[in-house]
Amino acid sequence: MQTILFDLDGTLVDHFTTIAHSIAHAQRELGLPESSYETVRATVGGGIHLTLERLMGATDGARALPLFNKHFEGNLYDGLFELPGAAWLLQQLSADGDYQMAVFTNKNGAHSRAITKHLNLDQWLSANVGTGDTPYRKPDPIFTAHILEVMAATSDETILIGDSPFDYAAAEAGCLRNFLVATGSHSLDQLSEETAAEAIYEDLYELGTAVFGFTRP
């Protein structure tokens, strides 16, 4: 059985509005200038601690983290939506019978599981592993090895689907096949310039037809 690992933010779901609002809340509380939605979207990647550090520096980023977390947890589903083709691709892969699927994300694992349950995406997942479930995060090779162990999978039978250079690096760290979609913080051109992914697609519909041969609805 082949294993498919999906990133969450920017791959299966769009959570950028919630993230941007929570960052702006933390910045207001600290008396700092608010980052625009566009700036936040372009900065997200690698986990929220890195995003906050990139936006406001290490010291203020550390101060902002608990403020962000409190606001974020209280507004977890505001502005959240499934990205085009997410449920369709998960359902098709599940119906095929030859695949097992998991979410592999740098989002907090508890948040990731709550989000996929809220959107009814969890019905097709065998596991959902994120930050806080281990001491590691993508692209640490130990984190990639951990998800393979959870799925009882080998690297040569596993594909990682994501939307960022972090996902590409995590796949490279585990010697996994890797496909990217330009539905997150990076455009097609940026992903082409910053990674050597096996292929890059506009969205999961295009990926599902090209990689797995499914018929788009």
CATH number of the domain that residue 129 is part of = 3.40.50.1000
User: Do residue 66 and residue 87 come from a single domain?
Assistant: no
The tokens for 71 are: 């606001």
What is the per-residue pLDDT across 84-126, written as a single tens digit (0 to 9) for each? 999 999 999 999 999 999 999 999 999 999 999 999 999 999 9
CA–CA separation, 205 vs 111, rounded Å? 25
Q: Is the separation of the CB atoms in 102 and 6 below 8 Å?
A: yes
Q: Is residue 105 part of a domain?
A: yes
User: Do residue 53 and residue 111 come from a single domain?
Assistant: no
CATH value at residue 54: 1.10.150
Q: Is residue 168 part of a domain?
A: yes
18: pLDDT strictly greater than 80? yes
User: Do residue 150 and residue 184 come from a single domain?
Assistant: yes
User: Do residue 186 and residue 100 come from a single domain?
Assistant: yes
Q: Is residue 217 part of a domain?
A: no
Q: Is the separation of the CB atoms in 101 and 124 below 8 Å?
A: yes
Report the chain's mean pLDDT, rounded to a whole number: 95
Q: What is the pLDDT of residue 56?
A: 94
Q: What is the pLDDT of residue 116?
A: 98
Give the end of a domain, one of 74, 93, 111. Answer: 74
User: Do residue 22 and residue 128 come from a single domain?
Assistant: no
- What letter would DSSP give residue 135? S
Q: Is residue 201 part of a domain?
A: yes
Q: How many domains does the chain have?
A: 2
Q: Is residue 179 part of a domain?
A: yes
What is the per-residue pLDDT across 154-198, written as a single tens digit (0 to 9) for each? 999 999 999 999 999 999 999 999 999 999 989 999 999 999 999
Tell me the pTM. Answer: 0.93
User: Do residue 205 and residue 118 come from a single domain?
Assistant: yes
- What letter would DSSP give residue 155? G
Residue 99 contacts by C-beta under 8 Å, 6 or more apart in sequence?
A: 1, 2, 3, 4, 93
Give the end of a domain, one of 74, 104, 122. Answer: 74
Which residue's entry shows tokens 């037809």?
209
Q: Is residue 154 part of a domain?
A: yes
Task: Please report, in angstroms and rounded to a whole number, the separation of the first and last CA atoms in the chain.
Answer: 25
CA–CA separation, 167 vs 160, rounded Å? 7
Give residue 99's domain range.
2-14+82-212
CA–CA separation, 6 vs 124, rounded Å? 12
Give the end of a domain, one of 28, 45, 74. Answer: 74
User: Do residue 56 and residue 39 come from a single domain?
Assistant: yes
% residues pLDDT > 70 (the chain)? 100
User: Do residue 31 and residue 114 come from a single domain?
Assistant: no
The tokens for 151 are: 């799925």
